[in-house]
Amino acid sequence: MAQCLEVLAWARAHDGRHIEAAELLGAAQSAWQLVGVTLPGVGRLLHRRTAREVLVGSRLGESRLAMLRRSGAALDIGEVLARALGRGAEPGDLLSLRR
């Protein structure tokens, strides 16, 4: 699931859906930590993750990227799956609730 969330986040970033990408990057990181591993295939995959994070950070700003990643990491599994499938609350909604 973690790798699927990573790739989906990269795709959303590529499509210009930066808020969704940032939240999914956070959810993916949380999933990697939950299973106790890091992104496999470190070379090429890590390069792709880093490139997408730079892209999203340049569009949203680093502080907003960090907030959205934390928001995504805090989602429960149902919320993560809803986000991944494009259902449920709009990306970034948790941020507005926490302000």
Q: Which DSSP category does 70 fall into?
A: H
CA gyration radius for the chain?
Answer: 12
Per-residue model confidence (pLDDT) at position 20:
94
Exposure on the CB side of residue 89, measured as CA atoms within 13 A = 16
1: CB partners within 8 A, 6+ apart: 31
pLDDT in tens, the chain (99 residues): 888 998 999 999 999 999 999 999 999 999 988 888 776 665 677 788 888 889 999 999 999 999 999 999 999 989 999 888 887 655 555 444 333
The continuous run of DSSP H or E covering 56 comes out as: helix 42-60
